[in-house]
Structure 1
Amino acid sequence: MFGQQHFAGMNTSQRTGMVHAGVNPAELANLGSKYEIQVFSVSANATNNKIGFSDLFGNDSFEDLVFRGTEAVDLRFDGEIYGPGFAYKMDNWTFALTSKAYAKLDLVDVDVRIGDAVSTATLNAIINGSTTINNNYNQRLNGTTWGEIGLSAARNFYDDGTHKFSGGLTFKLLFPGSYANLGADRFSGTINNNLGNVTLTDASANLNIAYSGNLGEEFTQFSDYTGSLFGSLGGVAADLGVNYRLSDVEQPNKYRINAGLSVRNIGSMKYKSANNSSTNYVLSIQGAESLNLNQFQNVESLEETENILLQSGYLDRATNTKTDFKVKLPTVFSAYADVKIVPKFYASVYWQQKLNPDDANDQITYQNVIAITPRFALDNFEVWSSWSNNEISGISGGIGVRAYGFYLGSGSIITNLTSDNKQADAFIGYSFGLD
């Protein structure tokens, strides 16, 4: 999963493949064979600002770990799967057909006092008494699955044997699977704990409750995501990129510099079904009124959460319920350069910047990241160590290896084994070329 950089180190490997095209479609112009066949690739990541790797081996529950302290929770589970893909190179053009699927579960800026009160009804911050909350941002719980079919084209625009410039475009058909979003904007209120009886008083917030498909029924189980990766056609998107290569006169078919710029995920998708629901509400609890928070402890469905709140009488509809609603893809800008240091040793720098904030209820999240990757590279073998710094979990370091078209690795295994790192990820894949 994203750290949020899938395939850390492999995406700037010496052997160009579909993973490279996922970062920058212009890289397809650098394929080393006439045909490229993507068999599979899987990347998975969990990153957060609360739970260290060593915490996983303790006796504390997940809720106790994630809602401890005072800092708001940012937690992301993210998966990306490349299905079968094919590319064909002829003269100055390269064309490709790819398939991908995504699954995400995010907690964005969730107040630990609210999360603890709702999930455990113990209120770690206070054993008995009250705590007042006044937030001026949007807290979100969000789950999303969708699939993509990509049609790519790349072209060499200039190549004098030393300098090479290429451009590329990927047009993507989007197949939204399932969706769930609970947003609480500008939440204020007082949480009271009386010997485990937890209530909310003097409260107000702007709520968005939206759900579609499997994630409307439940969003905590692995099968909730894998069971609905592809839905019906519901949107389009595009990736754009340019690439520059400076050839290595000392080593034929090698480069001294390979650099690129890209903008990805320009687009949105629409979830359409009679069973869908997206509603904006105003929560208002005034005077002697109170909402019993204990009743939310075992809730795993947003629809059930919505029904409990409606039955309480403290929700007013701010907009009519929609059965069709749009969700924006996480548009991101990327820049990278892989540079030859000495023969067989290279180093790459990769920078990723999201172009939209994560707090909008209709926005799929992403992370900003910068990574440095030194590598030892032979024609059919590479080993590298990728070191990244992302906005949620901080610094992570890992290792990866490629033998011919097979590759595997992790962008965090080194720091997981040597320090209390807050990220865990791994990837594996295989592709091959034919002339």
Structure 2
Amino acid sequence: MKKLIVPFFILSCVCTFAQEHFSGIGTSKRIGILNANFNPAELANLNSKMEVNLFATSINISNNKIGVSDITGDEDFEDLLFKGDEPVNLRFDVEIAGPGFAFKYKKMGFAITSKAYGKLNLVDIDANIGDAIANNGLNSLVNFTTLNGNYNQRLVGTTYGELGFSAARSLWETDKYKLNGGATFKLLFPGSYANFGADQFQGTITNVGGDSFLTNANASVNVAYSGSLGSSFSDFDGYSDSVFGSLNGFAVDFGGTFTIKDEKNGYKLNSGISVRNIGGMTFKDENNSSTNYNLVIQGNQSLNLSQFENVDSLQEVEQILVDSGFLTSTSSSEDFKVKLPTVLNAYADMQVIPTLYVSVFLQQKLTDDAKNDQITAQNVVTLTPRFSLKHFEVFAPLSQTEIAGFNAGIGFRVYGFFIGSGSAFTALINDSKQADFYFGYRFGMGKS
């Protein structure tokens, strides 16, 4: 199973030429399609009559174990990841915004957008299990380890595409105040999916002669896959090839904004609240499978965990476990539905002086990452001071994230081009456990 874990890290390195995506720029005073991604009601505040998004890419890698300085050391990735007893959480998220178009008409704003997503996550993986599979228990100080996980451990990946149709309207407006409402309706195109979940995992790992064996074990296991992620985690061409599948899902965003106007500088305060990604999608493919099992190993029985060391797919993992005789199927289906990561977004951007703004952004997930049919999200709080002119901005997002903790970054906007990172400073000056990067270009036409 070692190859099921290593690609999470390798793929992140390969893609770095690009979880709060677009940290800092998403609450920019230059209101456009990016702002509407966080809250569709912002479309009624567009700075231009029309805006075209050519491209925007954001990549976020975060974990709770490995710092940036550790990567350049002599220790292997698996040794670092599975040290200690704290469960392992690793998130790799990519968001690519393709061509998009927005425009204002009187009190209303509209947009058509396109996106592609890729997510590869380790969720609450017991470090002792990971060490036993990847390193034959080399990090263990004793010859046996007792497992008593009262949560669901997941290895999960997904790719999917999205077409969004958004509309917003000014609901109430005076010389000083403005209140907007808006919604986005999303058509979802599921690409590929893979999930291995082990809930309430209990047992004992014993190290004998350089191998690790699992005994006296019980767990509820889910194995689900569709598309290329089921047959291989290390075939990187498959990730990009499988992003857009057939139309088979639907989701919505709702939001509202409240603005205190400033005649010369746009606004003194721009605030909003939204609920995003309410919905899900159904995966269908020739290799589709979703099966729930009971894992039971009793008495003198044992499972040699070294069998999983070079495994490259969930199909192989499932077959090994089935052949061992320790799995009993409880339910199975070919097509299965996966829920999007529903989140609550709230923010406020306040003018301190005409060229200096400070924004506060909150992302609170409303779903449970432990569920096998759930795409994951992170809780995030970000404070962003920003120097803002009409055609230039520089901002420094300061974030506290659920997985990686505190991070500080920097970003720039020059006309429609922007580039930034939510972790650039902490990656340079301390042992940051997050690395992220984004860039893109959009342009506006006509004065709003």
Q: Deviations over 1:4-23 (max 9, x none)?
A: 11100000111112111110
Question: How do 1:279-318 and structure 2 match up within 5 A?
Answer: 279-318=291-330
CA contact (8 A) 2:289 2:333 kept: yes
Tell me what 2:37 maps to: 22
Question: How do 1:312-391 and structure 2 match up within 5 A?
Answer: 312-319=324-331, 321-391=332-402
Residue 300 of structure 1: CA displacement?
A: 1.7
- Point out the more displaced range, 75-84 or 15-24: 15-24
2:87 aligned with 1:87, yes or no? no
Residue 342 of structure 1: CA displacement?
A: 1.1
CA separation in 1, counterparts of 2:361 and 2:176? 23
Residue 224 of structure 1: CA displacement?
A: 3.5
2:272 aligned with 1:260, yes or no? yes
Q: What SS does the corresponding residue of 1:28 show, helix, strand or coil?
A: helix
Return the TM-score normalized by structure 1: 0.97
Aligned residues: 429
Return the TM-score normalized by structure 2: 0.94
Residue 221 of structure 1: CA displacement?
A: 5.0
Pick from 387, 391, 414: which aligns with 1:403?
414
**Which residue identity does 1:338 align to in structure 2?**
D
CA separation in 1, counterparts of 2:175 and 2:159? 44
Q: What SS does the corresponding residue of 2:48 show, helix, strand or coil?
A: coil
CA separation in 1, counterparts of 2:141 and 2:316? 28
Question: How do 1:31-46 and structure 2 match up within 5 A?
Answer: 31-46=46-61
Residue 130 of structure 1: CA displacement?
A: 1.3
Q: What SS does the corresponding residue of 1:309 show, helix, strand or coil?
A: helix
Q: What SS does the corresponding residue of 1:338 show, helix, strand or coil?
A: strand
Q: What SS does the corresponding residue of 1:59 show, helix, strand or coil?
A: coil
Q: CA RMSD in A?
A: 1.1
CA separation in 1, counterparts of 2:148 and 2:169? 54
Tell me what 2:242 maps to: 228
CA separation in 2, counterparts of 1:246 and 1:35? 23
CA separation in 1, counterparts of 2:239 and 2:42? 31
2:131 aligned with 1:116, yes or no? yes
Gaps of 5+ in 1: none
Percent identity, aligned pairs only? 56
**Which residue identity does 1:134 align to in structure 2?**
N
Pick from 73, 76, 81: which aligns with 1:66?
81
CA separation in 2, counterparts of 1:314 and 1:175? 36
CA contact (8 A) 2:128 2:137 kept: no
CA contact (8 A) 1:113 1:123 kept: no
Q: What SS does the corresponding residue of 2:321 show, helix, strand or coil?
A: helix
CA separation in 1, counterparts of 2:25 and 2:239? 26
2:204 aligned with 1:177, yes or no? no
Residue 366 of structure 1: CA displacement?
A: 0.4
Question: How do 1:46-57 and structure 2 match up within 5 A?
Answer: 46-57=61-72
CA separation in 1, counterparts of 2:303 and 2:419? 50
Q: What SS does the corresponding residue of 2:333 show, helix, strand or coil?
A: coil
Q: What SS does the corresponding residue of 1:185 show, helix, strand or coil?
A: strand
CA contact (8 A) 1:385 1:400 kept: yes
Gaps of 5+ in 2: 1-11, 13-18
Question: How do 1:210-249 and structure 2 match up within 5 A?
Answer: 210-249=224-263
Residue 32 of structure 1: CA displacement?
A: 1.4
CA separation in 1, counterparts of 2:316 and 2:306? 14
Question: How do 1:112-151 and structure 2 match up within 5 A?
Answer: 112-126=127-141, 129-151=143-165
**Which residue identity does 1:330 align to in structure 2?**
P
Tell me what 1:432 maps to: 443
